[in-house]
């Protein structure tokens, strides 16, 4: 894992620190020309290869590009469909990794470009693994159970107070330990807490699912999409957090208002079970480790070291303790790191890069607004939210990042607002997943689409609008650095 | 033949329904306590997990844990209700669309007892939430509709419309 900060991209010259491609540089010059005529990057060579030979050797390079683009697009669709459908219960990497390999073998993406992409995503994936392990170890230490006990005690049998506590806990846990922790580890605890209080669980469980998206704006570690954007934006950890703090608060506040109104009758119903009981035992070691990890993020970004090291440190501290106390095993740690998921992210990155480089950047380039005024930010966030809702926010962010990185950090963060908040429109994160779930679970008790979509229609545009406005304000005050 | 009564037990408002069953039915009545777990709550957790692209590991799906937790909590709730009733009764657990399950369970019964679950500060149609409104509108048997706590006074009623 190469853990160092990447240089900030120079707007208009490089995309994401990548080689610049000038496909339409002049008449008759198409991919395959030996040098670029763009005066800024004169002398940089590039070429699309096909079947192992350089495109310059071929007579009809346009066809090759089209073929390469078609193959890349077909494989991307295949990878995404398999990720949603999961045929035979295979891990997603089983299709994604061979697809990336096929694209390299056929030359649709050169080995150099693929390696460049893997090198770029490597630190991100390492960071992600450390945070996933950290969250699981916090659960092993009892952090989430203690959180449930604290909520039950403080709520004192009042559902509205419980909702406020769930909002606080889910926002903090999503921001620090990532959205996976909220979805997988916190949601069952919240349900059990509501049940223990005799309160109706629906508002509180739905709050967890919504906040796992909305509250994942704050830190680069909160969401994989953030980690990808963080690597592309060139922002420091602290500046990222400073710029996103206000949008994070604004989006959560809007969600809270919507939830209070939407679930008014469930919250009015009250709760019967006696509150109180023993004060929860605080897992001090886990809490201190998480606090130190957060401090580590700030410290590493001040001294210019990759903050992934801080996450690794936190995960190691808890792992050593967990192993010594036999609370975890090396096998469980490896499972928590989700190696197939990490491989899937790397392979998906390579496939998306092939699609983008072979022509999607030009096709989408017209749609992507440039600049960082309020309207441009709103348009970018809206476009990102729509793209995220079609398939998933992970491919959406991979496609949009290289197109928006040249416009500066403001544009990248606006994309993040869209891809992170947008998935709340459907309960399954995207239309593709939703449709598939409806097909598979048609005869089982599924979420009532109308009800949840109504909640999304109230919550998403309002929270996204508030967040973009807040981002625009933050950019004006703090600056994109 | 003893009267056949079904009491809809919902978190938050159930004690009033159990008390109404004690007050308004004879001691030999055949009382069934019914709790319906809304399928959409575990469903939302299943959906949120499915939305996390690439995570695999179906055994980590929080929706499955929620289903187990919901079953356990429904049992506890029905136990509390049976204790409060203090009479022989049957307990029924269902899962699905709450209002439709309740209507189905009320078929062929002599009485359905349920509580208002909307705005309880005013007399009026808003005192019924969407689920209890559906049940009241579609119930295939007589219905006893109770206030979860003391009903609001007549003064909370809106004034009559002006005479034409």
Name the residue facing B40 among A192, A264, A447 (closest C-beta).
A447
How far is it, in rounded angstroms, from Cα B122 to Cα A136?
48
At A49 the three-state DSSP class reads strand
Averaged pLDDT, B15-30: 93
A222 touches chain B (CB under 8 A): no
Return the pLDDT at A165: 96
How far is it, in rounded angstroms, from Cα A95 to Cα A72?
14
Share of chain A above pLDDT 70, in %: 83
What sign does the CA torsion over B43, B45, B47, B50 have? negative
Return the pLDDT at A190: 95
For residue B43, the distance in angstroms to the closest alpha carbon of chain A comes to 5
Cα A419–chain centre separation: 8
For residue A23, the distance in angstroms to the closest alpha carbon of chain B comes to 33
pLDDT digits (tens, 9 = 90+) for A24-52: 333 333 333 333 333 333 333 333 333 33
Per-residue pLDDT band for A403 (boundaries 50, 70, 90) equals: confident
Number of CB pairs < 8 Å for A and B? 163
Averaged pLDDT, A404-413: 89
Averaged pLDDT, A160-186: 94
Return the pLDDT at A441: 67
Return the pLDDT at A405: 85
What is the residue-averaged pLDDT of chain A?
81
Return the pLDDT at A242: 94
Averaged pLDDT, A419-435: 83
In this structure, the strands spanning A53-54 and A49-50 are antiparallel
Cα A396–chain centre separation: 10
Name the residue facing A272 among B15, B41, B119 (closest C-beta).
B15
How far is it, in rounded angstroms, from Cα B114 to Cα B147?
9
Name the residue facing B54 among A206, A265, A345 (closest C-beta).
A345
Q: How many CA atoms lie within 13 A of A449 on its CB side?
A: 8
The pLDDT of residue B136 is above 60: yes
The pLDDT of residue A2 is above 50: no
Q: Contact B66/A205, CB-based, under 8 Å?
A: yes
Which residue(s) pair with B30 in the sheet? B4
At A383 the three-state DSSP class reads helix
A456 touches chain B (CB under 8 A): no
Return the pLDDT at B101: 94
Nearest CA in chain A to B148: A269
Better-scored residue on pLDDT, A285 or A481: A285
Nearest CA in chain A to B119: A265
pLDDT digits (tens, 9 = 90+) for A79-113: 888 888 888 878 888 899 999 999 998 888 888 88
Q: Which of A319-328, A463-472, B69-78 has the highest mean pLDDT?
A: A463-472
Exposure string (b/e) for B70-100, b if CB count within 10 Å is 16 or more? beebbeebbebbbebbeeebebbbbbbbbbe
Q: Contact A92/B11, CB-based, under 8 Å?
A: no
Averaged pLDDT, A333-359: 88
At B120 the three-state DSSP class reads coil
- C-alpha closest to that of B152 among B124, B117, B114: B124
Write out A425-473 in H/E/C secondary structure: HCCCCCHHHHHHHHHHCCCCCCCCHHHHHHHHHHHHHHHHHHHHHHHHH
How far is it, in rounded angstroms, from Cα A334 to Cα A348?
21
Q: Contact B49/A184, CB-based, under 8 Å?
A: yes
Least confident segment among A97-111, A437-451, B93-107 = A437-451
Residue to test with chain A: of B17, B46, B51, most A Cβ within 10 A? B51
The pLDDT of residue A6 is above 60: no
**In Å, how far are A1, A204, A384, B127, B145 from B151, measured between CA atoms?**
66, 28, 50, 10, 12
Residues in A touching B13 (Cβ below 8 Å): 269-270
H or E segment and range at residue B6: strand B4-8
Return the pLDDT at A67: 83
Least confident segment among A117-131, A321-335, A382-396, B55-69 = B55-69
Q: Contact A428/B51, CB-based, under 8 Å?
A: yes
A180 touches chain B (CB under 8 A): yes
Q: Spelled out in words, what is the top-level CATH class assigned to the domain B4-41+74-156?
A: alpha beta
- Structure-token match 């953030």, residue found: A226
How far is it, in rounded angstroms, from Cα A33 to Cα B55?
41
How far is it, in rounded angstroms, from Cα A457 to Cα A452?
9
Token readout for A460 is 């998403």
Alpha helices in B86-141 (DSSP H): 98-106, 130-138
Token readout for A163 is 């909702």
For residue B19, the distance in angstroms to the closest alpha carbon of chain A comes to 14
Least confident segment among A154-168, A175-189, A360-374, A454-468 = A360-374
Q: Contact A187/B62, CB-based, under 8 Å?
A: yes
Least confident segment among A151-160, A288-297, A442-451, B39-48 = A442-451
Nearest CA in chain B to A132: B55
pLDDT digits (tens, 9 = 90+) for B114-128: 999 888 888 988 888
Nearest CA in chain B to A196: B73
Name the residue facing B40 among A393, A437, A448 (closest C-beta).
A448
For residue B1, the distance in angstroms to the closest alpha carbon of chain A comes to 35
Q: Contact B15/A394, CB-based, under 8 Å?
A: no
A198 touches chain B (CB under 8 A): yes
Cβ atoms of A229 and A415 within 8 Å: the answer is: yes
Nearest CA in chain A to B115: A269
Token readout for B36 is 């319906």
Nearest CA in chain A to B127: A265
Q: Contact B69/A191, CB-based, under 8 Å?
A: yes
A446 touches chain B (CB under 8 A): yes
Cβ atoms of A400 and A415 within 8 Å: the answer is: yes
pLDDT digits (tens, 9 = 90+) for A459-474: 999 999 999 999 999 9
Return the pLDDT at A442: 60
Residues in A touching B120 (Cβ below 8 Å): 268
Residues in A touching B53 (Cβ below 8 Å): 80, 83-84, 92, 392-395, 429, 433
A212 touches chain B (CB under 8 A): yes
**In Å, how far are A215, A432, A449 from A428, measured between CA atoms?**
17, 9, 10
Name the residue facing A198 among B12, B52, B119 (closest C-beta).
B12
DSSP for A193-261, written as a single string: HHHHHT--SHHHHHHHHHHHHHGGGSSGGG-HHHHHHHHHH---HHHHHHHHHHHHHHHHHHHHHHHHH
Least confident segment among A203-207, A266-270, A417-421, B150-154 = A266-270
Residues in A touching B64 (Cβ below 8 Å): none
Per-residue pLDDT band for B110 (boundaries 50, 70, 90) equals: very high
Averaged pLDDT, B34-50: 87
Least confident segment among A60-74, A87-101, A212-226 = A60-74
Nearest CA in chain B to A198: B11
Q: Contact B45/A92, CB-based, under 8 Å?
A: no
């Amino acid at each position: 894992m190469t853990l160092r900060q990447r240089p900030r991209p120079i707007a208009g010259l490089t995309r994401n620190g990548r080689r610049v491609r000038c496909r339409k540089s002049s008449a008759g010059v198409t991919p395959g020309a030996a040098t670029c005529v763009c005066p800024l990057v004169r002398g940089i060579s590039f070429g699309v290869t096909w079947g192992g030979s350089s495109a310059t050797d071929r007579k009809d390079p346009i066809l090759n590009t089209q073929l390469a683009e078609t193959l890349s697009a077909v494989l991307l669709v295949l990878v995404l469909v398999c990720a949603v459908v999961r045929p035979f219960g295979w891990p997603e990497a089983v299709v994604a990794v061979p697809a990336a390999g096929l694209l390299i073998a056929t030359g649709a993406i050169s080995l150099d470009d693929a390696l460049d992409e893997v090198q770029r995503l490597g630190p991100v994936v390492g960071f992600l693994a450390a945070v996933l392990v950290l969250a699981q170890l916090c659960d092993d230490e009892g952090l989430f159970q203690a959180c449930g006990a604290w909520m039950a005690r403080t709520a004192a049998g009042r559902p509205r107070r419980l909702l406020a506590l769930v909002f606080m806990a889910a926002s903090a846990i999503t921001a620090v330990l990532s959205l996976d922790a909220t979805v997988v580890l916190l949601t069952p605890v919240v349900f059990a807490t509501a049940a223990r209080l005799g309160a109706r669980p629906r508002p509180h469980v739905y709050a967890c699912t919504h906040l796992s998206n909305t509250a994942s704006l704050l830190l680069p570690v909160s969401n994989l999409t953030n980690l990808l954007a963080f690597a592309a934006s060139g922002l420091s950890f602290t500046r990222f957090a400073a710029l996103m703090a206000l949008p994070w608060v604004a989006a959560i506040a809007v969600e809270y208002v919507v939830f209070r109104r939407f679930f008014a009758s469930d919250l009015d119903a009250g709760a019967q079970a006696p509150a109180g009981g023993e004060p929860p035992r605080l897992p001090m070691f886990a809490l201190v480790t998480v606090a130190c990890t957060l401090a580590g993020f700030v410290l590493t970004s001040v001294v210019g070291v990759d903050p992934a090291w801080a996450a690794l440190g936190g995960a190691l501290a808890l792992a050593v303790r967990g192993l010594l106390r036999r609370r975890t095993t090396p096998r469980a740690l490896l499972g928590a790191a989700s190696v197939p998921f990490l491989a899937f992210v790397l392979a998906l990155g390579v496939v998306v890069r092939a699609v983008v480089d072979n022509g999607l950047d030009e096709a989408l380039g017209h749609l992507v607004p440039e600049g960082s005024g309020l309207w441009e930010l709103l348009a970018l966030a809206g476009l990102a939210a729509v793209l995220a809702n079609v398939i998933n926010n992970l491919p959406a962010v991979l496609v949009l990042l290289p197109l928006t990185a040249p416009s500066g950090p403001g544009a990248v963060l606006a994309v993040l607002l869209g891809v992170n908040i947008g998935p709340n429109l459907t309960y399954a994160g995207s239309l593709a997943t939703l449709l598939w779930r409806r097909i598979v679970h048609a005869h089982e008790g599924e979420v009532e689409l109308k009800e949840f979509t109504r909640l999304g229609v109230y919550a998403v545009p309002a929270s996204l609008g508030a967040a973009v406005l807040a981002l625009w304000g933050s950019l004006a005050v703090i600056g994109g650095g | 033949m003893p009267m056949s009564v079904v009491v809809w037990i919902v978190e938050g408002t159930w004690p009033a329904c159990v008390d109404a069953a004690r007050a308004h039915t004879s001691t030999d009545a055949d009382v069934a306590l019914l709790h319906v777990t809304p399928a959409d709550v575990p469903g939302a957790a299943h959906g949120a997990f499915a939305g996390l692209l690439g995570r695999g590991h179906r055994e980590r799906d929080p929706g499955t844990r929620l289903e187990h937790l919901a079953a356990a909590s429904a049992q506890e709730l029905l136990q509390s209700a049976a204790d409060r009733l203090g009479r022989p009764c049957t307990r029924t657990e269902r899962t699905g669309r709450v209002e439709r399950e309740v209507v189905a369970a009320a078929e062929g019964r002599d009485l359905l007892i349920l509580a208002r679950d909307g705005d309880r500060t005013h007399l009026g149609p808003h005192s019924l939430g969407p689920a209890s409104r559906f049940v009241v509108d579609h119930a295939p048997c007589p219905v006893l509709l109770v206030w979860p706590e003391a009903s609001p006074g007549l003064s909370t009623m809106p004034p009559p419309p002006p005479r034409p």
